[in-house]
Amino acid sequence: MNTYRLALIGFGNVGQGLAKILLNRGSWLKNHFDAKFLIVAVSDLHKGSCYDPDGLSISELLESVDNTNGLEEVAAPQLGWNSLQTIRESNADFIIEISYTDLETGEPALTHTRAALQSGKHVVTTNKGPIALYFPELIDLARKHNVEIGVEGTVMSGTPVLRVGMDIMEGAVITRLKGIFNGTTNYILTQMETGISYNEALLKAQTLGYAEANPDGDVQGHDAAGKVVILANLLLNIPLRMRDVPCRGITHLTPEDIISVSKSKERWKLIGTLDKTDNGCDARVQPELVPHNHPLYSVSGVTNAITYTTELLGDVTLIGPGAGRIETGYALLEDMLAIHRNQSGT
């Protein structure tokens, strides 16, 4: 049995999603994968911080957050460590980096990720900022310190688009990809098809928790552009940067624009595209009219999708969740299990 100690940097929706999965499925994971995952530390800027080298009680963590929106009710020998202390001084093998970030500086997630790799700890993250901005540096740092970095949840949450594209379809050779990478905008566009205004639809998306803290990044297309950059770096091995992706969002689309195209059996979708070229790739994010016979046409609401075009297999489309507490928590588990397989040789 391999035992892995986890430190969670951030304990918002995603961290709580992972904690719930481990609480409900811990025994099954032990039996099925021969792997035991202990949460030894949680450090959250707003909720507080606790550390027990022998493992914290997951039910206490979740109950405390439910009752107090903080970690006050958790019994632990060490309280109050900040994120960097937790990363450097705890006995964790995995740093689960799920604090917050942006697509301009990547901070503070970037500093956490660097510190964890430099401390010889595996990093698993769903934070797009550091990966979209600094992936080549971070993967080098991980190799130098002989640890791994798992990033599956940065694109389409737990829907395994990165792993499928990088590992399983590598031999088919991906030449192009096109996708709906932002749930908030897809939800807004789907809602506007029913005749409601952009502002009403955005408010609903915010109430349902789909939008980023600042929804400008969603509706102006930057969140989708970040995912396109990550896909270029990981799947095509091209060091694309945010500035290389021309980006247009959905804010100019009116309900009339959206309803009028239904007659021609088309739909407006915010589409991210990557085309491999002789010198690298062309990338863009923009609203596009999708015809009814394309698989992306029927992808509604908060659901995401990606169509890979390959040399040997033609088009392959994956459709699945792109956000959500359990769905993104599961993305972390996917990476943890992949690292477990690599470490244990199973």
Binding site for ligand HSE (CB under 6 A): 182-184, 210-212, 218, 223, 322-323
CB of 170 to ligand HSE, least distance (A): 25
CB of 51 to ligand HSE, least distance (A): 29
CB of 125 to ligand HSE, least distance (A): 12
Residues 334/158, Cβ–Cβ less than 8 Å: yes
CB of 313 to ligand HSE, least distance (A): 27
Catalytic annotation present for 20: no
Residues 22/35, Cβ–Cβ less than 8 Å: no
Closer of 316 and 323 to ligand HSE (Cβ): 323
Closer of 48 and 324 to ligand HSE (Cβ): 324
The helix (run of H) or strand (run of E) holding residue 319 is strand 314-320
| Alpha-carbon gap, residue 344 to 8, rounded angstroms | 22
Short-list 152, 175, 156, 132, CA closest to 282? 175
Catalytic residue among 227, 263, 265, 276: 227
Closer of 211 and 235 to ligand HSE (Cβ): 211
Q: Is the dihedral of CA 300, 306, 310, 313 positive or negative?
A: negative
Q: Please name every residue paired with 283 in a beta bridge, in sequence order, or none if there are none.
A: 274
Helices within the chain (DSSP H only): 13-33, 58-68, 83-89, 109-118, 128-144, 161-163, 183-192, 198-207, 216-219, 222-235, 255-260, 325-344
| Alpha-carbon gap, residue 287 to 273, rounded angstroms | 11
Give the burial string for 316-346 (b: 16+ CB within 10 Å, else e). Answer: bebbbbbbbbbbbbbbbbbbbbbbbeeeeee
267 token code pair: 């739909």
Which residues neighbour 101 within 8 Å (Cβ) at sequence distance 6 or greater? 107, 108, 109, 110, 127, 128, 129, 130
Closer of 218 and 334 to ligand HSE (Cβ): 218
Closer of 115 and 271 to ligand HSE (Cβ): 271
| Total Cβ atoms within 10 A of residue 25 | 13
CB of 198 to ligand HSE, least distance (A): 15
CB of 211 to ligand HSE, least distance (A): 6
| Alpha-carbon gap, residue 303 to 292, rounded angstroms | 17
Closer of 12 and 55 to ligand HSE (Cβ): 12
Give the 3-state secondary structure of residue 212.
coil
Q: Which residues are catalytic?
A: 227
